[in-house]
Amino acid sequence: MILHIDMDAFFASIEEAKNPHFRGRPIVVGADPQGGSGRGVVSTANYEARKYGVRSALPISRAWQLCPNAVFLPVNSSLYLRVSDAIMNIFKKYSSTVEQTSIDEAYLEVKSQLKNQKMRIKEAKHIAQNIKKDIFAAHQITCSIGISTNTLVAKVASDLQKPNGLTVVEPGKEEGFLAPLVIEKLPGVGPKAAKILHEMGVYKIEDLQAVDPKLLLDIFGKRGEWFYRAAHGEGEDTLSTEEVPSKSLGEDHTFERDTADTGIIINKLFDLIDGVCQNLEGRCFRTITVVVRYEGFITHTKSQTEQFPQSIDYLKKSALKLIWPFLHNSRKVRLVGFRVSNFK
């Protein structure tokens, strides 16, 4: 059996546990709201704040309008990473095969000696309940768990009864479990694909199950094949536990106020390059990219690929050449970013 575990309102739950007097109040973790004129976004909100429509990636100024009585807190990444590591260690007590997929999410494979299927499900459920107990005892936060024979269905299941949910999909019932859900619940079906599917009259996963796979292949290419298989409840039944090296490494910065001052923009770009280089740990890469977002959210990126030497000065010179055409046009810049990719 595969368990998919996802912590509930992760950053906000950690803050709530750390400050028990906030319990019951809406909590928003993210950028400084600055009395409603703050410029960043919400990282996450607890379930109390979600009642007001506050959610991840919403502009913090909007969150302030929606829920001015919320407790607004800055992101304390080092604390969240520590808790994340501790939770991953709890998982390792229960399974030797753990695949972490984000800061608050992992798959666990439960290998069983039991022959009887019902007993195997019972065993997996028991493990899930114990994991919940252990996490709560150590950190006073809850998680939601999905159990199935494969990763895809386990992931959909973990999301279904949040917060503090436990959803078990019995072997053989995967397709029927997915059928009544809307297609947006299927991992990989983003807003663009959903729009095309809606135009085809496909709203629920059962509608997708009935579409001719050849048609899906024609419209979506390889992804269409995936949609078809996923809709029928097919997923991976083993985990990949090898660490996947990250594909890019970057940082960006939103200015307190939009600025056309090239000195300020370039200094910030150089700070970002210093920051990225500190995290490179000697890895070699072949591509650098600069990002410039003007006021009004119009965003440009420009990349250069070559054999970059390990020299910060050379990187700064190259990045400067890339960003130059975007400056000196009196347009105000909201955000600047830098990243390296194409690791060797």
Which residues are catalytic, by number?
105
Is the bond preceding 163 in cis, omega lying within 30 degrees of 0? yes
CB atoms within 10 A of CB 251: 15
Pick 253 or 316: Cβ nearer ligand TTP: 253
Residue 174 engages Mg ion in binding (rule: CB under 5 A):
no
194, 219 contact by CB (below 8 A): no
CA distance 121 to 109: 13
Q: What angle do CA 45, 47, 49 make, to 5 degrees?
A: 55
Residue 7 engages Mg ion in binding (rule: CB under 5 A):
yes
Residues 54-113 that bind ligand TTP (CB under 6 A): 56-57, 103-104
Among 1, 5, 7, 110, binds ligand TTP (CB under 6 A): 7
Per-residue x/- track, 86-115, Mg ion (CB under 5 A): ------------------x-----------
Q: What is the closest distance, in whole angstroms, from the C-beta atom of residue 202 to ligand TTP in the complex?
A: 25
CA 310, distance to chain mean position in Å, is 31
* Residues 33, 299, 45, 11, CA torsion sign: negative
CA distance 103 to 101: 7
DSSP letters spanning 52-81: TT--TTSBHHHHHHH-TTSEEE---HHHHH
State both tokens at 135: 């996490």
Pick 107 or 285: Cβ nearer Mg ion: 107
- Alpha carbons within 13 angstroms on the beta-carbon side of residue 142 total 11
* Contact partners, residue 335, CB within 8 Å, separation at least 6: 252, 253, 254, 255, 291, 292, 293, 299
Residue 15 engages Mg ion in binding (rule: CB under 5 A):
no
Pick 141 or 319: Cβ nearer ligand TTP: 141
Residue 162 interacts with which of ligand TTP, Mg ion, none, CB < 5 to 8 Å by class: ligand TTP
Segment lying near ligand TTP (by CB under 6 A), choices 2-10, 18-26, 112-120, 170-178: 2-10
Residue 173 interacts with which of Mg ion, ligand TTP, none, CB < 5 to 8 Å by class: none
Segment lying near ligand TTP (by CB under 6 A), choices 7-15, 85-93, 268-276, 303-311: 7-15
DSSP letters spanning 177-209: HHTTSBGGGSTT--HHHHHHHHHTT--BHHHHH
148, 2 contact by CB (below 8 A): yes
Residues in binding contact with ligand TTP, number by CB under 6 A: 14
Segment lying near ligand TTP (by CB under 6 A), choices 9-17, 178-186, 220-228, 239-247: 9-17
Residue 49 engages ligand TTP in binding (rule: CB under 6 A):
no
CA distance 177 to 170: 9
Q: What is the closest distance, in whole angstroms, from the C-beta atom of residue 6 to Mg ion in the complex?
A: 4
Residue 157 engages Mg ion in binding (rule: CB under 5 A):
no
Residues 176-215 that bind ligand TTP (CB under 6 A): none
Residue 304 interacts with which of Mg ion, ligand TTP, none, CB < 5 to 8 Å by class: none
Per-residue x/- track, 162-181, ligand TTP (CB under 6 A): xx------------------
What is residue 41's DSSP assignment? B
Among 2, 3, 44, 272, binds ligand TTP (CB under 6 A): 44
Q: Which residues bind ligand TTP (CB under 6 A)?
A: 6-11, 43-44, 56-57, 103-104, 162-163
Q: Name the residues that contact Mg ion, by CB under 5 A.
A: 6-7, 10, 104
